[in-house]
Structure 1
């Protein structure tokens, strides 16, 4: 890591982006029970708590998850809670745009429902993170195709707390890496976010130093470390 975490004015919503997305711009995709919420399962596996330090929020989550069921919560802390056990925890980082040269890409195409089978295939081969049948509905997704028309790279929008939009599902077919395709798509997706008067942010694994170096080189800065933790309800 080449930079210390940044402290940016007005960015506190990013400490709990899932909750502020589900309570706001993505409310139409939300299932809510008290201080807990989740995206509809075919949209995203992400769950969120209004306050991860509150026992009441964890009790509310039981209204969404049956005993034996699992949940995926960013930024909740990899700590066992009463009635829950940690299934996995992936250390990550959160970066925000401070100097990105955003702009449209004339070769990028808007992806929609008809493209989902190709998108799911690309995700399965590149493992950028969770992507479901209706994830494409969360925002703008752009792709690049090769001469044969095959989808070879994509990026799009996921969590959407007020004033911010997450760039997610950034992936490139292994046979086309090293050509700057991901950077082109990040700049293009960011251009649309900026047009709405919002600021792009993104997440990646803390061990993904290649991606972190790329993001920092094109104008993102590290804001904070973050955990991506799965929990299983045991009682």
Structure 2
């Protein structure tokens, strides 16, 4: 049942998120960089050409999610970020104590600013179009948010779980994750997420909410210097 989560980007771009796909060769799929700078491959092969072509289009650092990619003469740096993939097997029983507001359709700039303040490098201007995002406001200021990123046929990833540093410790993240999970379960799908393996506080929270560790997942960060690419690319 959970096999697609072994290669979530590949399956998302072949299923619910196919409209966001850039397919550079048969065994490589990338999200369009306006939405998400993630890519994946289905079988071992030299990915250098596809990676270089995507880098020429996206510019900013991006990630290959899954197994160690095979590359030769890479025109950039490759760095492994190890995450825990966690799955929620049962709905969260949590009381919602704070008003939660939908952020799609008017609050995208506030969401983009908050996520990149807390978790820089993953969130793009059009990421909110990938799924539903919700937030908590205090005195008109967005101070916490969470939403959906990768969508597969039977699974939806909870992502961008952030709280402004001045408003931590109030239970906002717990409320928002429970809210997102309830929505996903209501659609007949299973929530999952990725959290860096050294983020003990976040992992502890997710465990308390009922998420269970499934496997380690590598996010291979590729960083390029734009001067490596000619105007032809």
Specify the TM-score bucket, using the shorter chain as the normaliser.
0.7 to 0.9
Distance of aligned partners of 1:182 and 1:207 in 2 relative to their CA distance in 1, 3 Å threshold? same
Quick check: 2:91–2:182 contact (8 Å CA) kept in 1? no
* Distance (whole Å) between structure 2 residues aligned to residue 74 and residue 176 of structure 1: 31
Quick check: 1:97–1:199 contact (8 Å CA) kept in 2? yes
How well do the aligned residues superpose, as a CA RMSD in angstroms? 2.5
* Distance (whole Å) between structure 2 residues aligned to residue 119 and residue 67 of structure 1: 24
Unaligned regions of 5+ residues in structure 2, if any?
A: none
Task: Give the deviation of 1:88 after TM superposition.
Answer: 1.6
* Distance (whole Å) between structure 2 residues aligned to residue 196 and residue 152 of structure 1: 27
Structure 1 stretches of 4+ moved >6 Å:
none
* Distance (whole Å) between structure 2 residues aligned to residue 102 and residue 164 of structure 1: 20
Task: Give the deviation of 1:162 after TM superposition.
Answer: 1.9
Task: Give the deviation of 1:126 after TM superposition.
Answer: 1.1
Task: Give the deviation of 1:137 after TM superposition.
Answer: 0.5
Quick check: 2:154–2:188 contact (8 Å CA) kept in 1? yes
**TM norm structure 2:** 0.85
Unaligned regions of 5+ residues in structure 1, if any?
A: 1-9
> Residue 41 of structure 1 corresponds to which residue in structure 2?
33
* Distance (whole Å) between structure 2 residues aligned to residue 169 and residue 81 of structure 1: 30
> Residue 81 of structure 1 corresponds to which residue in structure 2?
71
Return the structure number with greater relative CO, CA threshold 8 A, min gap 6.
1
* Distance (whole Å) between structure 1 residues aligned to residue 30 and residue 58 of structure 2: 17
**TM norm structure 1:** 0.85
Task: Give the deviation of 1:212 after TM superposition.
Answer: 0.6
- Higher mean alpha-carbon deviation, 27-36 vs 63-72, is at 63-72
Task: Give the deviation of 1:113 after TM superposition.
Answer: 4.0
Distance of aligned partners of 1:133 and 1:80 in 2 relative to their CA distance in 1, 3 Å threshold? same
Aligned match for 1:224, one of 198, 215, 225: 215
Task: Give the deviation of 1:41 after TM superposition.
Answer: 1.1
Match of 2:22, SS?
A: strand
Match of 2:220, SS?
A: strand
